């Protein structure tokens, strides 16, 4: 169900752990991880109020819309760290993506279809910025910085 970012479900630590748990055990309000002001500074323009979507179990999205583009922050919470590592590896091996230095336990560039995917424990963070005024290199730098801010909060 899509909802305004002002309706805030509980936020929990999803950074990992040794036990295996069900996907439905965690809720991450991705709109709480970056403020509209942080996004506006990063992309160089104001955005509308972000929209939170938690309609798929274990998958949480926050969408930011601006006049010159938009940005989505997706977080997937996997049952355990090994599953998250396996899915990340498939993104590298089968997705044609490039492993890069970045925040978290692992990071990859998903350009040109997206920007950056970061794994932290059993959590995967995807940030896709679609800007009318930035090059792909600029988008990657911006999204890497934003991913680092999110990783610091998921700790």
End-to-end CA separation in angstroms for the chain: 27
Contact in structure between 12 and 27 (CB atoms under 8 Å): yes
pLDDT digits (tens, 9 = 90+) for 93-128: 887 899 999 999 999 999 998 899 999 999 999 999
Predicted TM-score (pTM) of this structure: 0.80
Q: What is the pLDDT of residues 49-102, one digit of tens each?
A: 899 998 888 888 999 988 878 889 999 988 899 999 999 999 998 878 999 999
Domain containing residue 67: CATH number: 3.40.1000
Q: What is the pLDDT of residue 14?
A: 40
The count of structural domains within the chain is: 1
pLDDT higher than 50, residue 7: no
Determine contact, residues 118/33, Cβ cutoff 8 Å. Answer: no
Domain that holds residue 131: 2-12+19-154
Give the integer Cα–Cα distance in Å for 47 and 56. 25
């Amino acid at each position: 169900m899509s909802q305004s970012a002002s309706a805030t479900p509980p936020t929990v630590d999803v950074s990992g752990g040794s036990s295996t748990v069900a996907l439905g055990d965690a809720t991450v309000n991705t709109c709480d991880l970056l403020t509209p002001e942080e996004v506006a500074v990063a992309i160089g323009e104001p955005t509308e109020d972000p929209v939170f979507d938690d309609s798929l179990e274990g998958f949480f999205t926050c969408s930011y819309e601006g006049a010159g583009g938009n940005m989505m922050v997706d977080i997937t919470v996997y049952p355990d760290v090994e599953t998250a590592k396996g899915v990340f590896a498939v993104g590298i091996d089968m997705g044609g993506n490039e492993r890069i230095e970045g925040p978290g336990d692992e990071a990859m560039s998903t350009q040109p279809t997206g920007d950056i995917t970061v794994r932290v424990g059993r959590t995967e963070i995807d940030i896709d910025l679609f800007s009318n005024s930035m090059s792909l290199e600029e988008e990657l730098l911006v999204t890497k910085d934003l991913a680092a801010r999110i990783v610091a909060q998921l700790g």
